[in-house]
């Protein structure tokens, strides 16, 4: 039986790269997406080895990017699962930023973190309906549940992504299309580096398990959700935060 193929956005580094490599270990063929770093993307592709199934460079901040990426990926073969991992985090003060600063942050954050993932999901669902099945996994965040100061657009984008995951799981349940999410807290990635460097002691004090998550912690959970072992699950968004937050 031919291996299933998955498209992982933002898979040249960080959580996306770890998910790509973990899925390859679990029998998936992996299509790599990235937006900037050619060298890192090529490195990921090389590590995937025979599990590599395409590499696509597409910016995800405009309305056409989802169609472009999905067209490129599906032109190279069937896609059986989509992982919406690519995202950005840009702090902004709601009260103190200028109008131009706030709205520029808001519009760009929503474009990358929500609008393009939703457009990709719509395209994926049409493909999966024709194929008779499919899976979508969205990488959200703990702040999608609890909020965070100076990150209102980011928090809102992740909260919306979580609820798209839940709503579509119900809506598409009769069409053999399953949706999942993971909601990491602090993870040792480049995105978190500034916070780690400036207040690591405080961060660790707030995590009962005593450490930040690794990208592999996230990847193993994502791989389980996309595995046959999770066939009876859909709409689940799993927290990965070391017992630092419950809801």
Q: Tokens 């025979």, residue?
A: 50
Is 154 assigned a catalytic role? yes
- CB pairs under 8 A, 24+ apart, for 129-132? 129/175, 129/177, 131/78, 131/80, 132/176
Handedness of CA 20, 21, 23, 28 (dihedral sign): positive
- Residue tagged active-site, from 106, 154, 232, 245: 154
Q: Tokens 């657009």, residue?
A: 153
DSSP three-state, residue 6:
strand
Task: Tell me the CA distances in angstroms from 196 to 73, 200, 241, one per residue in order.
Answer: 35, 5, 15
Give the H or E element holding residue 21: helix 14-25
Bridging pattern class, strands 52-57 and 29-34: parallel
Pair 157, 141: CB distance under 8 Å: no
Pair 87, 60: CB distance under 8 Å: no
Residues annotated catalytic, as ranges: 154
């Amino acid at each position: 039986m031919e291996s299933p193929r998955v498209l992982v956005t933002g898979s040249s580094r960080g959580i996306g790269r770890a998910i790509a490599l973990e899925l390859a270990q679990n029998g998936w063929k992996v299509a790599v997406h990235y937006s900037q770093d050619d060298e890192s993307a090529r490195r990921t592709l090389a590590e995937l080895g025979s599990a590599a199934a395409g590499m696509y460079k597409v910016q995800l901040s405009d309305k056409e990017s989802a169609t472009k990426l999905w067209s490129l990926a599906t032109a190279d073969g069937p896609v059986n699962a989509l992982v919406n991992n690519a995202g950005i985090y840009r702090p902004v003060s709601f009260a103190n930023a200028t109008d131009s600063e706030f709205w520029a942050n808001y519009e760009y954050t929503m474009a990358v973190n929500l609008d393009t993932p939703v457009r990709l999901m719509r395209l994926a669902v049409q493909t999966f309906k024709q194929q008779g099945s499919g899976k979508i996994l969205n990488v959200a965040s703990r702040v999608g549940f609890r909020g965070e100061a100076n990150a209102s657009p980011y928090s809102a984008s992740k909260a919306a992504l979580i609820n798209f995951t839940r709503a579509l799981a119900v809506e598409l349940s009769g069409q053999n299309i399953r949706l999942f999410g993971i909601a990491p807290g602090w993870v040792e990635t480049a995105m978190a580096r500034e916070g780690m460097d400036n207040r690591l002691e405080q961060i660790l004090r707030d995590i009962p398990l005593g450490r930040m998550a690794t990208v592999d912690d996230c990847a193993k959970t994502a791989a389980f959700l996309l595995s046959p072992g999770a066939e009876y699950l859909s709409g689940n968004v799993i927290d990965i935060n070391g017992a630092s937050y419950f809801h």
